[in-house]
Structure 1
């Protein structure tokens, strides 16, 4: 399945979400396979509240997806995995994205 090129606004949001070392580490770790929050926090070396903040940002832009599951002992566990995405940044892709921008950044 081929993903459509993101709009200019979507591309700005995706790149902004990835412009953070912790979020890059999260995506890299999840590229190895899905994981649950507590384990992922230990693997990345951050607190669960901080991890949640970063996971929400990545999920909001569609780079990862989360699902709530019950463990065998009945505990709710949130699992995350990388969403299917394929970004190829070239000058022509950026030029096309600019034509679909709806937000104007302050000067």
Structure 2
């Protein structure tokens, strides 16, 4: 994946209000899915969809742990993130974007 593709994936992952709230919530520390769903105010299945998008973009990391009563619990935490958007970063990233597979020919 190119730098441009990675930037697009990161920005797309952060561009949804629920995912932005998840990232903000996890900035305070790791949390398990059921608690996070209650705190964000969404169902667990919907939360899982958003967490998958964030995980695919490398923004969160999940781990499965056993509670003291033997119950499996999925925890998520933020991955290191240091994103500073500048015009130069956007120009450099755009130059490395993978062209769409079905790009139309340019007009002369």
With normalisation by structure 1, the TM-score equals: 0.90
Structure 1 contact 9–103 (Cα < 8 Å) conserved:
no
**How do 1:87-98 residues align onto structure 2 when only pairs under 5 Å count?**
87-98=83-94
Q: How far did 1:103 drift?
A: 3.1
Q: Indicate the residue corresponding to 1:8 in structure 2.
A: 4
State whether structure 2 residue 42 is matched by structure 1 residue 52: no
RMSD: 1.5
Select the structure of larger CA radius of gyration.
Answer: 2
Q: Output the CA distance in 2 between the equivalents of 1:106 and 1:58.
A: 27
Q: How far did 1:44 drift?
A: 0.2
Q: Output the CA distance in 2 between the equivalents of 1:103 and 1:83.
A: 28
Q: Number of paired residues?
A: 102
State whether structure 2 residue 78 is matched by structure 1 residue 82: yes
Q: What residue ranges of structure 2 are gaps of 5+ in the alignment?
A: none
Q: What residue ranges of structure 1 are gaps of 5+ in the alignment?
A: 1-5
Deviating runs (4+, > 3 A) in structure 1? none
Q: Indicate the residue corresponding to 2:68 in structure 1.
A: 72
**How do 1:22-41 residues align onto structure 2 when only pairs under 5 Å count?**
22-41=18-37
With normalisation by structure 2, the TM-score equals: 0.90
Q: Output the CA distance in 2 between the equivalents of 1:31 and 1:103.
A: 34
Range moving further from structure 2, 47-56 or 6-15? 6-15
